[in-house]
Structure 1
Amino acid sequence: MTYWGMDHKPHEGEMVVNAHVASKIVGVFHKLYDQRYPIRRMELVDKYKGSDFDSIEADNTSAFNCRNATGSSNWSQHAYGLAVDLNTCENPYVHSNGHIEHPRCVKYGNRKRQDPGVIHAGDKVVRAFRSIGWGWGGSWGGPWDFQHFSANGH
């Protein structure tokens, strides 16, 4: 897919999603492109040998990753290609106690920040995913997964 980079230029990226939602996800990213929403990078997690931690460290936007949900023994929605993580550093996973695993992403725990790529409740990103019936991890109430959008909201 083509996306707007943080450098204000178009870039080509790759993402693997479940075939049943592929056209909807393309539609979401088309809306975000038209609105010039900035994305740091969009690479397959294969580049990071399937490491969710390393993909997040790289501030990578991705979808499919065959792994368990954070802190669980159950499959993540990412394992089914039914979840997208967007600008993973600007939108960190925040544990209920406020801890953020990735040191360079800690400053984004302050959700009042208006930096490029930061997602806020009700903004164009949340609305774009909501338009296809997907929920946002930033509305969970703790822990919060501000980067996460999924078909079932989890």
Structure 2
Amino acid sequence: MSRNGNHILSSAMVDSDLTFAEAVSGSSAPGSVLDDLRLVEVAYYGFDGRRHTGQLVVSTAVEQDVREIFALILEIRFPLHSVIPIVRYGWSDEASMEANNSSAFNYRFIAGTDRLSRHALGMAVDLNPRQNPVIYENGQILPSGAIYSPGQPGALAESSPIVEAFLQRGWFWGAHFRNFRDYHHFERPEKFPL
């Protein structure tokens, strides 16, 4: 049983077992944002074929969606490398991506802008950045050295049940951005019906 009182799979490899306070420690987010966040324990299969447990910090507005989608991820055995709150990567999106970590809340701005990312409110989820990289118009790929190959284990594609599950719940997939493709990114738009 984890310290936060949740219990999913006692025989699973534990990738993350933080308390909520530990998961948001050092974040620059204001109290109004932190008060709306929840620490969600999730189960999934790793690339090693074993069951794992990890954690995501998400907004209460999307908590149920995230729980349902991760239940699907577990059911269809879609492999994830790790699911660890980004505090373990020093609040660095780049370090989390390099480690192929799936994550959610990170109080930060959209790269190259002064606008808050949906991650800053716990309203976005990234899955397997190395299998699902960001590909810019100029050909730059992040994380460095990643290869997008739909159909490979851990890679997402338009026909993926996970992509469909997010879209059916009103989320937006970063592969549909106009100027670049962010294959690992899903976000709940600012205005959506609850």
Superposition TM-score, scaled by structure 2 size: 0.73
Q: By how many angstroms is 1:11 displaced?
A: 0.2
Letter in 1 for 2:105: F
Q: By how many angstroms is 1:72 displaced?
A: 1.5
Q: By how many angstroms is 1:77 displaced?
A: 0.2
| Regions of 4+ moved over 6 Å | none
The answer to whether the Cα contact below 8 Å between 1:41 and 1:61 also exists between their aligned partners in 2 is: yes
User: Which whole-Å CA distance do the structure 2 matches of 1:70 and 1:96 have between them?
Assistant: 15
Superposition TM-score, scaled by structure 1 size: 0.91
The question of 1:138 aligning with 2:154 is answered no
Q: Unaligned regions of 5+ residues in structure 2, if any?
A: 1-41
| Corresponding residue number in structure 1 for 2:106 | 65
Q: Specify the SS of the correspondent of 1:27.
A: helix
Instruction: Give the number of equivalent residue pairs.
Output: 149
Change (3 A) 1:24 1:101: closer
Q: What's the C-alpha RMSD, in Å, of the aligned pairs?
A: 1.4
The answer to whether the Cα contact below 8 Å between 1:94 and 1:142 also exists between their aligned partners in 2 is: no
The answer to whether the Cα contact below 8 Å between 2:81 and 2:102 also exists between their aligned partners in 1 is: yes
Sequence identity (%):
34
Letter in 2 for 1:147: H
- Higher RCO, 1 or 2 (CA under 8 Å, sep at least 6)? 1
Q: Deviation per CA, 1:55-108, whole angstroms, max 9, x where unpaired? A: 000000000000001222100000010000000111111112121143231x22
Q: By how many angstroms is 1:4 displaced?
A: 1.1
Higher relative helix content:
1
Higher relative strand content:
2
